[in-house]
């Protein structure tokens, strides 16, 4: 299928063929008919991508701060690799489309193939022939509303939410500052609500358009008679509300709003404007309300609503993102809005570059609503796209999942070893195409079946969200493919037993991404404690840092939480140092009524091993980032080994300290060791029994927290 793409590193914008997106539970697959280019928003997005590195940094200082913090935590080299991976990516453009449902997995059974729908969402409702949309960002189109009109729905929902924040009443005098696409729609919505509407803009053409379509009066910002006109329009009282839909680096919209508002009036900010709020004379003395409008409405930026498909109760949250979309479509249907005068250009998807030339000012042409059109009936639902024709090596790999971790730590190390990269699969076709191009895979795909059905692919790397690890591993084992699965192996007892059953039937090379045991400093310290003939004590302190509850890793059904998803690393490391099987575990976490905290993110765990060794894990999310993340200590035989955040180690023995100048967390070594094992038909570097026991211990930790009792392994 065809999609508009921008390379975030170079700024190049083009149309390319990518795999059709895949959908999962709670999503709808839609064949686009039209999509709307939101000139203001997309112009800013495209300009950031076209800027050089310094320009990008100036426009996103928040990301610069993250980079500097990451340097302190992981070092300069690792941080540079992450930054390069992020920069060298392809970006989807667009967030407002209309089309026909091709397939639906929505949990409420609302959408059926053939339904006409409007779609919303950055990275979902893209300028693309096919889009996969979460169910709460889809709305049915009334029969008498055209696809062209419906493609405005996302912008309409944004405008409608701004209007709702102003709480307009019949007869209110309301000023709209900024008469671009959002402002024009806002004027029409206010007029439909029975308000007296006054528009302001810097463009004479936009002022004229608003007078034709919605505003009772509109003037240029620099009109010498502006204040007099406002006094006459409001009978000298000032506006009941001002809605700022402009996008400007200037503070003028804020200052002007305060000046022209009536006493106890409202100022609603919808557009991206500078917000230096002057206390005097107006905001304070008039006792003005300043309100922010958040995009499409309640549900925006809430993962549980947008991605997990959980709606808010109608009785308590009357207007959500989806309900705003539906209301906007009904207003079009009832002829309360006229969007046709706002459409200035329509281009076929293949001519998208011409449309963006206008948006970016390369071609000087008056414009406001620019639509991209998609042909019906063409073959679009192709999951596999050929990218290269590289020679296949002795080990031929496929990747299911290729997020930033896989791109930073797995794919480069597979490539450096010398295995061939055959096919990469991600749910979004643009991502798989980007990864395939960047790392020279032969194929990009959005369907894991393209890997499992390809007999020449003998080794599968699984780096998807945690809830799919077990099922993909089982399928790969059944297809007699070697498997590297990122941790965790499974999310629950049932999945673990299913993996075990599959492995026992067909014992392929199976590896789980427990990289820390392969770190050079870990192996050096392990050698110092071999053949002691006595138990060890292993202390591990992890200053992990806070992760909010709505992060996908914390989702019980998607990531499984940090006990299952992260602490497995350290249970494996204990097994590595002790060379022993875990037999008992006991865990205690903090208790707190703070709703932001996930209590088992702050936990103390004791593991007993069958050779008498003890492992202590203190995992913390309530510390400070200035402290290094990981400290590992191994005690036994009159020696102490210490690992400082895998940057270096120490060996304390004979009343002296030996510094071990080895760094790295073992990502390269684990991948290379796994591939060496396959090539040389050697024994697995981590036995399946050990992998099984590590995973089992994490489940027992949760049981211990629930019961308050030690659990036997």
For 2-152+302-373, which CATH superfamily applies? Answer: Medium-chain alcohol dehydrogenases, catalytic domain (3.90.180.10)
Tell me phi and psi for residue 548, to 5 degrees. -65, 155
Yes or no: say if 513 and 489 are a contact pair by the CB < 8 Å rule.
Answer: no
Q: How many Cα atoms within 13 Å fall on the side-chain side of residue 117? A: 30
Provide the whole-model pTM.
Answer: 0.87
Yes or no: say if 184 and 197 are a contact pair by the CB < 8 Å rule.
Answer: no
pLDDT score, position 54: 56
**Tens-digit pLDDT profile for residues 367-395:** 999 999 999 875 678 899 999 999 999 99
CA distance 713 to 705: 15
Cis-peptide, bond into residue 488, ω within 30° of zero:
yes
Domain ranges of the chain: 2-152+302-373, 166-292, 392-514, 516-671+684-712
Which residues lie below 8 Å from residue 426, measured CB to CB, with a gap of 6+?
Answer: 401, 402, 432, 435, 446
CA distance 249 to 244: 13
pLDDT score, position 378: 59
Yes or no: say if 428 and 125 are a contact pair by the CB < 8 Å rule.
Answer: no
Query: Under DSSP, is residue 160 helix (H, G, I), strand (E, B) or coil?
Result: helix
CA distance 14 to 36: 17
Q: Say yes or no: do domains 166-292 and 392-514 share a fold.
A: yes
Residue among 148, 88, 119 nearest 23 (CA) = 119
Tell me phi and psi for residue 157, to 5 degrees. -65, -35
Q: Pairing between strand 396-400 and 420-425? A: parallel
Q: How many Cα atoms within 13 Å fall on the side-chain side of residue 570? A: 32
For 516-671+684-712, which CATH superfamily applies? Answer: Dihydrodipicolinate Reductase; domain 2 (3.30.360.10)
CA distance 280 to 259: 10
CA distance 499 to 475: 10
Residue among 458, 527, 526 nearest 681 (CA) = 458
Neighbours of 377 (CB within 10 A): 6
**Tens-digit pLDDT profile for residues 421-433:** 999 999 999 999 9
Report CA-CA distances (Å) from 51 to 54, 63, 248, 354. 8, 15, 18, 20
166-292: CATH number: 3.40.50.720
- Annotate 456-485 with b (16+ C-beta within 10 A) or e (fewer): ebbbbbbbbbbbbbbbbbbbbbebebbbbb
CA distance 142 to 150: 9
Beta strands in 440-519 (DSSP E): 443-445, 459-462, 482-485, 510-512
Give the gyration radius of the chain's Cα atoms: 29
Low-confidence ranges of the chain (pLDDT < 50): 56
Which residues lie below 8 Å from residue 325, measured CB to CB, with a gap of 6+?
Answer: 118, 120, 137, 139, 153, 154, 156, 157, 296
pLDDT score, position 56: 45
Report CA-CA distances (Å) from 562 to 302, 553, 621, 638. 21, 7, 10, 34
Which residues lie below 8 Å from residue 247, measured CB to CB, with a gap of 6+?
Answer: 40, 41, 44, 178, 180, 271, 272, 273
Q: Which fold has domain 392-514?
A: Rossmann fold (3.40.50)
């Amino acid at each position: 299928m065809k999609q508009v793409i921008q390379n975030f590193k170079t700024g190049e914008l083009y149309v390319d063929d990518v795999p059709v997106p895949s959908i999962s539970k709670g999503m709808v697959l839609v064949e686009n008919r039209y999509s709307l280019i939101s000139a203001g928003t997309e112009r800013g997005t495209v300009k950031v991508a076209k800027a050089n590195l310094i320009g990008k940094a100036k426009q996103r200082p928040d990301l610069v701060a993250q980079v500097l913090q990451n340097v302190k935590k992981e070092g300069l080299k690792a941080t540079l690799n992450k930054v390069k991976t992020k920069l060298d990516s392809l970006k989807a453009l667009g967030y407002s489309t209309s089309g026909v449902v091709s397939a639906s997995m929505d949990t409420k059974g609302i959408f059926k193939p053939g339904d006409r729908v409007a779609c919303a969402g950055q990275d979902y409702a893209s300028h693309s022939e096919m889009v996969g949309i979460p169910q709460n960002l889809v709305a049915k189109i009334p029969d008498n509303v055209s696809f062209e009109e419906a493609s405005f729905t996302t912008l309409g929902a944004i405008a409608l939410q701004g209007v709702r924040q102003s709480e307009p009443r019949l007869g209110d005098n309301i000023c709209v500052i900024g008469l671009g696409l959002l402002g024009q729609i806002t004027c029409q919505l206010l007029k439909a609500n029975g308000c007296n509407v006054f528009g302001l803009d810097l463009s004479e053409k936009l002022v004229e358009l608003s007078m034709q379509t919605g505003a009772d009066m509109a003037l240029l910002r620099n009109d010498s008679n502006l204040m007099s006109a406002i006094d006459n329009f409001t009978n000298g009282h000032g506006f009941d509300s001002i809605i700022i839909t402009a996008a400007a680096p200037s503070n003028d919209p804020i200052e002007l709003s305060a000046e022209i508002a009536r006493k106890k009036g409202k100022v609603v900010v919808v557009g991206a404007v500078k917000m230096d709020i002057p206390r005097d004379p107006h905001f304070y003395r008039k006792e003005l309300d300043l309100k922010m409008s958040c995009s499409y409405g309640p549900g925006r930026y809430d993962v549980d609503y947008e991605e997990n498909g959980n709606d808010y109760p109608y009785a308590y949250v009357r207007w959500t993102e989806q309900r705003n979309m539906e209301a906007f479509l009904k207003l079009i249907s009832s002829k309360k809005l006229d969007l046709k005068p706002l459409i200035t250009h329509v281009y076929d998807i293949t001519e998208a570059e011409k449309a963006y030339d206008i948006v970016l000012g390369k071609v000087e042409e008056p414009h406001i609503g620019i639509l991209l059109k998609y042909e019906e009936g063409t073959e679009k639902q192709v999951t596999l796209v050929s990218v290269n024709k590289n020679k296949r090596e002795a080990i031929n790999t496929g990747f299911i999942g290729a997020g930033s971790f896989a791109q930073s730590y797995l794919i480069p190390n597979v490539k450096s070893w010398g295995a061939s990269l055959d096919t990469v699969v991600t749910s979004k076709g643009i991502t798989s195409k980007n990864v395939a191009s960047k790392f020279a895979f032969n194929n990009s795909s959005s369907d894991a079946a393209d890997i499992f059905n390809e007999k020449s692919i003998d080794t599968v790397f699984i780096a998807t969200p945690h809830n799919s690890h077990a099922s993909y591993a089982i399928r790969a084992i059944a297809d007699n493919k070697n498997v590297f699965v990122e941790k965790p192996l499974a999310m629950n007892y049932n999945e673990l037993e299913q993996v075990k059953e599959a492995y026992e039937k067909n014992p392929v090379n199976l590896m789980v991404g427990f990289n820390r045991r392969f770190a050079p400093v870990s192996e050096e310290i392990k050698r110092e404690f071999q053949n002691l003939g006595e138990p060890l004590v292993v202390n591990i302190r992890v200053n992990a840092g806070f992760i909010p509850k709505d992060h996908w890793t914390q989702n019980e059904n998607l990531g499984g939480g940090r006990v299952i998803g992260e602490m497995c690393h350290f249970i494996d490391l204990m097994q590595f140092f002790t060379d022993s099987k875990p037999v008992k575990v006991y865990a205690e976490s903090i208790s707190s009524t703070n709703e932001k905290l996930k209590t088992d993110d702050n936990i103390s765990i004791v593991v007993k091993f069958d050779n008498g060794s003890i492992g202590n894990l203190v995992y913390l999310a309530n510390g400070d980032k200035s402290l290094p993340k990981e400290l590992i200590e191994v005690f036994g035989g009159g020696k102490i080994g210490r690992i400082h955040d895998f940057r270096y180690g120490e060996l304390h023995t004979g009343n002296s300290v030996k510094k071990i100048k080895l760094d790295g967390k073992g990502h390269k070594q684990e991948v290379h060791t796994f591939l060496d094992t396959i090539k040389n038909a050697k024994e697995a570097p981590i036995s399946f029994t050990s992998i099984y026991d590590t995973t089992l211990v994490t489940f027992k930790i949760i049981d211990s927290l629930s019961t308050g009792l030690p659990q036997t392994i």
